[in-house]
Structure formats: structure tokens, C-alpha cells
Chain A
């Protein structure tokens, strides 16, 4: 299998990672499209150095986050109020129950209110990465990543339960 074909297949299998990263960091529709392309381009440029000792998903997460962090993004609107509707992803499924829909939007809203580093740590955790993998991706120590993660989770859960503003 050629390199391009191999890369295409891996991207197709893991494209959800790119969508997710963009969703968490960019609000503007046009900017989302540009960043999607930029991530694909940067991933391709770095693909030769992809060492198969880590999973492709871990590697892609790292490249996607680095691309987003080093891209000159428009300044996001500060989310002080709770316009959940504005945060809805355009492909929102119509079969959502009201409750699930609210819970999901609330989580998205609360995550987007976090600073960019906390946003990265919690999304990696929710995607099933271990503290060691989070440390590997972010450059933090596993211990510090774990402590930080614990605090973020506590805060988010309290906020979701309406215990904290």
C-alpha cells in the first residue's frame, strides 16, 4: 500500500479526532474549514516522522492540537452567559432526547469555558487517554496531569449539577 493511501485510510478512520479538536477550539465556521485543511496538511507533512511505537490516534491528536495552538485563530467570544444553542454542532442529530441534548450542550459549553490547556486535558481524558498518554501528548508529567485532571473533573461535575457557578 502506498504512503498516500495508507495516510488516507488512517485519516478516514480517525477523522473524528480532528472534528472534535476543532469543535472545542474554534467557533467560526469558515475558520473550522480552514483549520481542518491545515491539520490535514500538517499531518501529512509530519507523517514521515510518525513512529509506530505510539497509536496513530495519539499521534494525530498531538499534531491536531499543535496545529490549532499554533494557528492564528480569531479571538473566541467569551462565554459568560449560556447560549447553548449557539454552541450546537451543525450536524446535531434530530433523535436526541431533550435531556441528553441539554446535557451534551451543557458539557460542551462548560468545556469551552475552560482555558485552552484545561480544555485539552479534559478532552483527552474523556477520549480515554491514560494520564501517561496525556502527559506524553501535552509535555506535562503524568502526576501533574493527573492532579490537574482531577480538579477539572470536580469543577465540571459540580457545575453540571448546578452546585457551582
Chain B
């Protein structure tokens, strides 16, 4: 039953065998190149986000130190600092998980690859989207606090509350939608192909 297939396959093999042998220099050159796996792009994006978290976090720490006479301002700086520190830690933690070894079975690799990429994208979108609105909200509140207003007074002023909500919704919501759209454009097709192959493997194992 196998014969016609095997015969044609052997033909194909013989053609592949006559391809010129790769030499040591070419192998050495290949193993020192930069990987073109999509994970590398994702990692680059995460490194950029980590640097932004570090930048804003440092800014918050400096603000915190300079605001010792303004307890309410200190509270705002501290909340923002915690957000950026948390963001930095979360991204770093997930960045490490992206080093996936490819010498496990195809099913194992595809499942863990798909799961990790999806998780990292969700975290990256969430943290990235609120980086700017937090700055905006913080800046707005702080300018009022340094101007002599208390946080309680601010939250009783419907105009200020509206502005804070608009900043959060427009920049946060908009940022999140934009980040999701960009990630879908960059990784959507890739994740879909991975999912198709995982489903195919699972359907065989049923």
C-alpha cells in the first residue's frame, strides 16, 4: 500500500541529497544571527514598555521625595510609583517566560507558545494602555494639590471628576483598543495559525 508513496518520496529525497552541503562557516554565521521568530519582536516591545515603566517610576520616586511637605501629593506619587513598579515586575516576569525551548513535542511547544504569547500580549496591552492616562490623571491631580486643593475637594467638584474620567476613558480606553488592534495586526494571524494546528492535533488525540 505504501509503495507508490515511498517510491515518490525516495525520488524527492534523492533531489534533496544533491543540494550542496552547508559548510562550517555558514553554520557558524547562522547561529550568531538575530532570531526572526515573532517572539523577538514581542520581547523588543516588552523591553520598551519596561523602560517606560522605569522612566515613569523614577519620576514618581523623585516626585515623592520632593513632596515631603505635601502628604496628599505624596500619596498620589506613591500610588503611581506602585503602578509602574508593578508593571515593570509583571512585564519582566513574563518576559522571562518567553524563552521557550523548541525541543519538546510539537503539541507541547505549540500549546505553551500560544498560551504564553496570548498572556504576554494581554499584560502588555493592559499595562501599556494605562501608562499614559495614569500620567495624565496624576499630573492633573498633582497640579491641583500643589495649587492648594485637597483630594476630597477635587472629588466633590463635578467638573474635575469629569475631566479625570475623560482622561481615563479617552486615553486608557482608546489606548487599550489601539494596543489590541496593533497586536491583532502584528500577531493575530500568527496566533490563529497556531490555534488551528493545536486544534488539529487535539482532534486527532480525541
B33 within 8 Å of A by Cβ? yes
A120 in contact with B106 given A49-B101, A70-B194, A103-B8 (CB within 8 Å): yes
B38 within 8 Å of A by Cβ? yes
- Pick the residue among B2, B18, B21, B204 that contacts A145 (CB under 8 A): B204
Please list the 7 inter-chain residue pairs (A to B) with the smallest Cβ-Cβ separation, ordered nearest first. Answer: A139-B107, A139-B105, A107-B8, A40-B30, A44-B31, A66-B102, A104-B11
Interchain CA distance A19-B18 in the complex, whole Å = 11
**B22 with A46: CB separation less than 8 A:** no
B157 within 8 Å of A by Cβ? no
**B14 with A93: CB separation less than 8 A:** yes
Report, as a range, how many residues of chain A touch the other chain: 35 or more
**B37 with A38: CB separation less than 8 A:** yes
B13 within 8 Å of A by Cβ? yes
- Pick the residue among A46, A115, A160 that contacts B103 (CB under 8 A): A46
Shortest C-beta distance, A22 to chain B (Å), equals 10
Taking CB atoms, residues of chain A closer than 8 Å to B187 are: 72
Shortest C-beta distance, B11 to chain A (Å), equals 4
Report, as a range, how many residues of chain B touch the other chain: 35 or more
Taking CB atoms, residues of chain A closer than 8 Å to B14 are: 93
15 A–B pairs (Cβ distance < 8 Å), ordered by A: A7-B27, A12-B21, A42-B37, A42-B102, A70-B38, A70-B194, A72-B189, A91-B19, A92-B15, A107-B9, A116-B200, A117-B204, A126-B9, A139-B107, A153-B5
Interchain CA distance A122-B7 in the complex, whole Å = 14
**B102 with A63: CB separation less than 8 A:** yes
Instruction: A157-B1, A160-B8 given; name 16 further pairs at CB < 8 Å.
Output: A16-B16, A37-B30, A44-B31, A50-B103, A62-B106, A65-B106, A66-B109, A70-B39, A72-B189, A91-B18, A104-B12, A107-B5, A136-B105, A144-B204, A148-B204, A160-B4
Interchain CA distance A127-B6 in the complex, whole Å = 9
Taking CB atoms, residues of chain A closer than 8 Å to B108 are: 139
- Pick the residue among B11, B13, B38, B101 that contacts A100 (CB under 8 A): B11
**A19 with B19: CB separation less than 8 A:** yes
A8 within 8 Å of B by Cβ? yes
From B31, B190, B194, name the one whose CB has the most chain A CB atoms within 10 angstroms.
B31
Shortest C-beta distance, A49 to chain B (Å), equals 6
Residue of B nearest to A19 (CB): B16
Q: What mask results when residues 185 to 206 of chain B are scored 1 for a CB within 8 Å of chain A, else 0?
A: 0010110011011001100110
